[in-house]
């Protein structure tokens, strides 16, 4: 059985010793080795969304359920992150800034496709967009090296690639719209 309290404690003690994107990778890998345990704890997903599991100044844990065939715009986190996929697939596109202007545009710089059991550590300057290319939910456990909800971040417009302030409400709206589309597709 997945023990969330133990997982939080382990994250806490590891981040205490080493506060970087590799600090929790091994315990995250261990957690996503057993998707059945995670589904038993979180339940089988019925819709996409960002579920807050833990939030503090030091670190945050999210359970992210990507709706079938959804895309989230390029964004940064302004803190390190570690992603572990326990079901489905997520295609990450990594972006880099074209110049150092605060509202500078970005260009695609690389890609990484993650599937069940995969983990990836992301440095604090990473910009990525995420696509669920499958017709099923993709489930991932995310650990961030700070307060995900209170730290100012940026997002980039999918059409113009111009930078704007990241608003979690915008992400929630994208999930809601994707859920609506997925429901229509099922009918
Ligand atoms: Fe992200």
Distance linking the first and last C-alpha atoms of the chain: 35
DSSP string, 136-172: S-EEEEEEESS-TTTS--EEE-TTT--EEE--HHHHH
Ligand 1 centroid to residue 187 C-alpha, Å? 30
Ligand 1 centroid – CA 17 distance (Å):
24
Task: Give helix then strand counts, H and E, for the chain.
Answer: 4, 11
Q: Which of 166, 183, 5 is nearest to 78 (CA)?
A: 166
Output the CA 72–ligand 1 centroid distance in Å: 9
Query: Rounded mean pLDDT of 118-133?
Result: 97
pLDDT of residue 21: 84
Q: Rounded to the nearest whole angstrom, what is the distance from the C-alpha of residue 49 to the centroid of ligand 1?
A: 13
- How sure is the predictor about 150, in pLDDT bands with cuts at 50, 70 and 90? very high
Q: How confident is the model at residue 157 (pLDDT cuts 50, 70, 90)?
A: very high
Cα–ligand 1 centroid distance for 112 (angstroms):
13
Distance 129 CA to ligand 1 centre (A): 7
2: its two tokens: 């997945």
The chain-wide mean pLDDT, for the chain, equals: 94
d(CA 55, CA 156): 25
What pLDDT does residue 186 have? 64
Evaluate if residue 104 carries a pLDDT over 90.
Answer: no
The rounded Å distance from CA 18 to ligand 1 centre is 21
Q: What is the pTM of this model?
A: 0.93
Determine the pLDDT at residue 168. Answer: 92
User: Within a 13 Å sphere around the CA of 115, how many CA atoms are in the beta-carbon half?
Assistant: 2
Residue 100 banded pLDDT, cuts 50, 70, 90: low
Domain boundaries of the chain, sorted by first residue: 4-186
- CATH number, span 4-186: 2.60.120.10
Q: Which pLDDT belongs to residue 161?
A: 92
Return the pLDDT at 1. 84
Give the per-residue pLDDT at 101. 63
Confidence class of residue 183 from pLDDT cuts 50, 70 and 90?
Answer: confident
Residues, the chain, total?
187
């Amino acid at each position: 059985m997945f023990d969330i309290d133990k997982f939080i404690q382990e994250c806490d003690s590891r981040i205490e010793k080493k506060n970087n994107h590799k600090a929790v990778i091994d315990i995250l890998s261990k957690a996503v080795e057993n998707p059945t345990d995670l589904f038993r704890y979180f339940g089988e997903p019925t819709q996409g969304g960002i579920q807050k599991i833990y939030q503090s100044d030091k670190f945050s844990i999210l359970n992210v359920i990507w709706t079938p065939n959804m895309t989230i715009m390029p964004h940064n986190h302004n803190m390190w992150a570690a992603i572990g996929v326990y079901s489905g697939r997520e295609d990450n596109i990594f972006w880099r800034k074209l110049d150092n202007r605060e509202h500078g545009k970005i260009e695609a710089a690389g890609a990484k496709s993650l599937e069940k059991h995969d983990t990836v550590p992301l440095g604090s300057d990473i910009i990525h967009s995420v696509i669920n290319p499958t017709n099923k939910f993709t489930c991932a456990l995310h650990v961030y090296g700070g307060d995900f909800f209170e730290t100012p971040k940026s997002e980039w417009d999918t059409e113009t690639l111009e930078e704007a302030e990241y608003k979690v409400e915008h992400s929630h709206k994208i999930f809601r719209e994707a859920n609506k589309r997925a429901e229509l597709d099922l009918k």
